Structure 1
Amino acid sequence: MLVIVAVTTRTIARVSAPSRPLRIAAVPLMLAAGGLLSVQSEINGRLAGAIGAGSRAGVTAATISFGSGLVILALITAALPRQRRALAALVAAVRARRLRVVELAGGLSGAFLVATQGITVGTIGVALFSVALTAGQSASSLAVDHAGLGPSGRQAFSVPRAIAAVFAVSAVLLAASERLVDDFSWQVAVFATLPLVAGVGLAVQQAINGRVAAQVGAWTTALNNFAWGTAALVLVLGAMAVARGLPGPLPSNPWLYAGGAVGVVYIWLTALLVRVHGVLVLGLCLIAGQVITAQLIELVAGETHMGPLGIAAGLLVVAGVGVALAVRRPPATEETSVRG
């Protein structure tokens, strides 16, 4: 399996017009990338819970996740001449104004997302977190395309995206209503809005990451994201430590520190796979993989926060993905309009 993934991703990086077999092979990778985001949410949520409670524990977990991811990326970049040249190309692109500094700031959205994982997952569960996140991501993608933030510039209104957004927003309302009826509290209500906002930022992050990846490649784009996100989280955690002190001691379970490595693979895959199917299909497959994996995680863990309505909400998101894919524009038109 690992050999197949390596060959597929290497081929994607080398071609500008993917063949039909390559497009088919990329679909399970896109679904897997979405699943990785749910896995990271579960890991970071558990890490935050093991550290303590509240926003300090969440930000501490996010800082550890981003910081460890940055270390992994930096070490590999230093060891590979090709990636060192790509990093130099990033600096040159900024100096030549082919990239603006604001286009490098996608990692700030990622930092907010990871901090939100640590703060909210322990309270609302990974499934509701994922449904809320995908609702924000789907709805905001319409505005992101209209504003022209992606690498292909401004895009006209897309009926498939609108369908996916309607399904996703309906799903989060359905899932949230069940949880609020069963266990109403303002904390759950407020916490459910945080991943919704994070989803808005995730759509922006994917768009500007596409601009950076078009200049310097997916790997350097991931390194840039982790550098910005780590810097922001260290500043926030430092301010919290000065005001309220540090949270409790760090846990000894090594698996709780795997969130950074998972995040590295997620960012790299999404920046790479957007070349194959474009932003639309990538986003839809990420949503499907994320929601399905989140439901499976809670089912296996035996700690589900969702009942029948929550499961229906997850199925509604997946149904929206299927409908949007079924009625999307012909491949030639889609590639012309969304390719980064």
Structure 2
Amino acid sequence: MAVAAAIAAGTVVPVQARLNGELSHRLDDGIAAAAISFSGGFVLLSLLAVFSSGLRDAMRRLTGAARDGQLPRRYLLAGVLGGTFALAQSTGALITGIAMFTVSAIAGQTLSGLIVDARGIGGGLRQRPGTARLTGAAVILVAAVVSALPRLADTSAPATIVLPALAALAAGFLLGMQQALNGASTAASGSPLAATWLNFCVGAVFLTAAWGVKTLVQGTSGHPLPTNWWVYLGGLCGMVFIGASAFLVRRIGVLLLSMASIAGQLASSIALDFLVPSGGRSPSVLTVIGALLTFAAVWIASRRPRARPSSDPGQ
């Protein structure tokens, strides 16, 4: 059930990407779009806190845990890691292309999941990278490359995208770390919503500061804010994904959470491309095969080893 929930949570990410992409296009400023998206999520969660005494109590428990040393204070900055990913997505993807960025980010998330789970970072259950988990991780990487092959073939001057691709890999790695830290904040507060509010608060401040620096250096794009209300719903999608991830990460680990959400993302992307095509392209056969491989990878990684039968006939 937890794996299925992680897949479902992943399906909102492409919707968020479409909304933020549209906002970025209308503003001609990817950093501004990311900052507005995070700020929108922060406002929605703050309004929820006003009417929810349970959420306010959870936020007080989170503050108390950090003050008393039960929760390392650096964990409170997990939102910066999510903001870094959003920043890389809004800038680096313009250089590498969506396909290369996605493959690099998935590689980073997979590597992060293996390391975080093996070391128990964030206080989660330590899970050694056994055969099933390593095989699943390898299959998810193959699936990412296969699904992106049609667009990778169109990439010109591959040497020019090496550094941005490495930045995307690092951003994906940090995203996996964020999920582990959110799990610790959820355990300390007793509520994934408190961890989600903290993420959006810190992430909004970080991205707004980045937007301010960009504006001081380069000036504004001069485009007015769109009047269509639906382009601002990216923050709501982010709330669903981060909240679900904070709730699930302690149950299935960072690696399986990342893999399941990736499967949901690819499936949702294909559905969106069929229902609401973007850029005049329909999903290729390789993209569909890649998505199916991600579900196979999740199944492989989530399998539990069978108990060996006892050699003692009396047992």
TM-score, normalised via structure 2 length: 0.84
Aligned residues: 302
Residue 110 of structure 1: SS of its match in structure 2? helix
Q: 1:271 aligns with which of 224, 246, 258?
A: 246
Task: Confirm or deny that 1:40 pairs with 2:16.
Answer: yes
Partner of 2:204: 230
Partner of 1:255: 230
Residue 150 of structure 1: SS of its match in structure 2? helix
- Check whether the contact 1:45–1:119 (CA below 8 A) recurs between aligned residues: no
Partner of 1:335: none
Partner of 1:245: 219
Q: What are the within-5 Å matches in structure 2 for residues 73-152 of structure 1? A: 73-119=45-91, 130-152=102-124
> Greater CA deviation, 188-197 or 300-309?
188-197
Residue 105 of structure 1: SS of its match in structure 2? helix
Residue 11 of structure 2: SS of its match in structure 1? helix
Partner of 1:212: 185
Instruction: State how far apart, in whole Å, the 1-side matches of 2:77 and 2:306 are.
Output: 33
* C-alpha spacing 1:132/1:42, structure 2 compared with 1 (3 Å): farther
* C-alpha spacing 1:161/1:88, structure 2 compared with 1 (3 Å): same
**Residue segments in structure 2 that go unaligned for 5+ positions in a row:** 308-315
How many angstroms does 1:119 deviate by?
3.3
- The AA in structure 2 aligned to 1:48 is S
Q: Describe the superposition over 1:88-127 as per-residue Cα deviations: whole angstroms up to 9, x where unpaired.
A: 1111111111111211121112112223343366777767
Alpha carbon RMSD of aligned pairs, Å?
Answer: 2.7
Instruction: State how far apart, in whole Å, the 2-side matches of 1:126 and 1:254 are.
Output: 26
Instruction: State how far apart, in whole Å, the 1-side matches of 2:276 and 2:96 are.
Output: 15
How many angstroms does 1:213 deviate by?
0.6
- Check whether the contact 1:125–1:305 (CA below 8 A) recurs between aligned residues: no
Task: Confirm or deny that 1:300 pairs with 2:263.
Answer: no
- The AA in structure 2 aligned to 1:98 is Q
Higher Rg: 2
Task: Confirm or deny that 1:201 pairs with 2:177.
Answer: no
- The AA in structure 2 aligned to 1:211 is A
Q: 2:137 aligns with which of 154, 165, 173?
A: 165
Residue 328 of structure 1: SS of its match in structure 2? coil
How many angstroms does 1:130 deviate by?
4.6
Instruction: State how far apart, in whole Å, the 2-side matches of 1:67 and 1:283 are.
Output: 24
* C-alpha spacing 1:230/1:33, structure 2 compared with 1 (3 Å): same
Partner of 2:301: 324
> Greater CA deviation, 135-144 or 111-120?
111-120
TM-score, normalised via structure 1 length: 0.79
- Check whether the contact 1:127–1:294 (CA below 8 A) recurs between aligned residues: no
Residue 122 of structure 2: SS of its match in structure 1? coil
* C-alpha spacing 1:129/1:328, structure 2 compared with 1 (3 Å): farther
Partner of 2:156: 184
Q: Describe the superposition over 1:134-157 as per-residue Cα deviations: whole angstroms up to 9, x where unpaired.
A: 332122211222333132254423
Partner of 2:31: 59
**Residue segments in structure 1 that go unaligned for 5+ positions in a row:** 1-23, 332-340
How many angstroms does 1:182 deviate by?
2.6
- Check whether the contact 1:141–1:161 (CA below 8 A) recurs between aligned residues: no
